[in-house]
DNA sequence: CTTGACTCCGTACCTAAGTACGTAGTTTAT
DNA sequence: ATAAACTACGTACTTAGGTACGGAGTCAAG
């Protein structure tokens, strides 16, 4: 209570993990692979994490849920190195990749949708059009 | 040449792998995890694979590319057990999941797009709006 | 009838993305 | 001032989805 009367938004790894909604070990793992930087260890005591790291971790998690690997997340996060032109180029590449992902998913969605509609006819039927056509998707 | 003058569409594991475009080991792996059934081994000789298995493997690969895990692929493939109603229900759940994925990706795409547009102003600038806002995606 | 290619099978190994564990140090609450 | 809780660190283990390897059997051609 004496020291650090809320000078800056600093957290221990446990607090960070809790507020970011991940495991402590996950943070340590991200540090190991260089995805987030490990704050220097003070001569005495625990490492302090800046509260910005919360957003960073949440970003990682969101990107992951969208199908990006940690490698790709690292690329997304490193867009800041190389000047505005380079950054824009890389962002455009990412956008194209996302576009392809969306198109693939939409195609699958459409296929699935058609199957569901053909199936509407007789719910208790033993014969099922979905099953029949699934192997030919 | 004498035997099996193209009686049925039967293949060795190597032929199957080649035509399906996967590694022999991959097929053996799918068998290990129960994703495709291993044909019985004849008393003498090699196992025969029905050519339908080609389509099955291709289906697995396509589904995987769309972000389904092998676990989910197994679910998709087992949709045939339980009657048409159950099948449709499960297909609808899949569709909802895909819808959410598409929406998330579209949101990310839009964010990225806005960043790219703000960045158009001065390509050689040191200050880069993308970098500034990336942490808040 | 032997050689080369292929199959069978088990086990080991690989990467990605963590999770768990043991020991030692630190902090905090009582 | 001592126990409970937390951090630090290294190492090991886990799951998914394969890939590789080694030895033994089998098949087809020359």
Encoded tokens for B88: 């449709």
One domain, residues A75 and A92:
no
8 A C-beta contact, residue B77 and residue B69: no
Q: Is the CB of B9 under 7 A from strand C?
A: no
* Residues paired with residue A10 on neighbouring β-strands, in sequence order: A50
pLDDT band at residue B115 using 50, 70 and 90 as cut-offs: confident
- Find chain B residues with C-beta within 8 A of A119's C-beta: 84, 87-88, 91
- Find chain B residues with C-beta within 8 A of A102's C-beta: 102, 105-106, 109
What is the Cα Rg of chain A in Å? Answer: 23
One domain, residues A68 and A87:
no
The reported pLDDT for the residue numbered A81 is: 59
Which nucleotide lies closest to B12 by the C1' atom and the CA atom?
C7
One domain, residues B34 and B3:
yes
Read off the pLDDT of each residue in B32-47 and give the average, rounded to a whole number: 94
One domain, residues A38 and A74:
yes
ipTM of model: 0.69
One domain, residues A130 and A101:
yes
Beta strands in chain B (DSSP E): 10-11, 49-50
Selected residues 45-104 of chain A with any CB under 8 Å from a CB in chain B: 52, 55-56, 59, 62-63, 65-67, 76-77, 79-80, 83-85, 87-88, 91-92, 94-95, 98-99, 101-102, 104
Q: Identify the domain boundary among B33, B57, B80.
A: B80
One domain, residues B89 and B65:
no
pLDDT in tens, A7-42: 457 899 999 999 999 999 999 999 999 999 999 999
**Rounded distance between C-alpha atoms, residue A115 and residue B95, angstroms:** 11
One domain, residues A46 and A96:
no
Q: Identify the domain boundary among A49, A65, A80.
A: A80
Tell me, yes or no, if B130 comes closer than 8 A to chain A by beta carbon.
Answer: yes
Each residue's pLDDT expressed in tens, for chain A with a length of 137 residues: 333 333 457 899 999 999 999 999 999 999 999 999 999 999 899 999 999 999 899 989 988 877 788 998 888 787 665 666 777 777 788 788 889 888 888 887 887 788 788 776 655 555 666 555 555 44
One domain, residues A117 and A50:
no
Task: Collapse the DSSP code of A70 into the 3-class scheme (helix H, G, I; strand E, B; otherwise coil) and give the result.
Answer: helix
The reported pLDDT for the residue numbered A92 is: 85
Q: What share of chain B is helix, strand, coil (3-state, %, to 5)?
A: 60, 5, 35
One domain, residues B36 and B93:
no
Which nucleotide lies closest to A29 by the C1' atom and the CA atom?
C18
The reported pLDDT for the residue numbered A123 is: 54
Q: Nearest 10 degrees: CA dihedral of B29, B33, B36, B39?
A: 80
Encoded tokens for B29: 């792996």
% of chain B with per-residue pLDDT over 70? 76
8 A C-beta contact, residue B105 and residue A98: yes
Give the domain range for residue B127. 83-137
- In 3D space, the residue among B113, B115, B95 whose CA is nearest the CA of residue B105 turns out to be B113
Encoded tokens for B2: 């004498």
Encoded tokens for A134: 């699934």
* Residues paired with residue B50 on neighbouring β-strands, in sequence order: B10
- In 3D space, the residue among A52, A51, A72 whose CA is nearest the CA of residue A62 turns out to be A72
One domain, residues A76 and A111:
no
Q: What's the CATH number where A20 sits? A: 1.10.1660.10
One domain, residues A58 and A96:
no
One domain, residues B70 and B119:
no
Number of domains forming the structure of chain A: 2
8 A C-beta contact, residue B102 and residue A106: yes
């Amino acid at each position: 209570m004496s020291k650090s009367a809320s000078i800056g938004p600093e957290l221990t790894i446990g607090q960070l993990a809790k507020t970011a909604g991940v495991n402590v070990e996950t943070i340590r793992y991200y540090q190991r692979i260089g995805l987030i930087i490990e704050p220097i260890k003070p001569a005495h005591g625990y490492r302090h994490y800046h509260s910005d790291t919360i957003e960073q971790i949440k970003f990682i998690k969101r990107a992951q849920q969208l199908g990006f690997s940690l490698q790709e997340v690292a690329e997304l996060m490193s867009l800041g190195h190389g000047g505005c032109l380079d950054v824009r180029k890389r962002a455009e590449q990412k956008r194209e990749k996302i576009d392809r992902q969306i198109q693939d998913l939409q195609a699958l969605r459409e296929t699935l949708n058609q199957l569901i509609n053909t199936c509407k006819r007789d719910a208790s039927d033993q014969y099922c059009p979905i099953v029949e056509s699934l192997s030919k998707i």
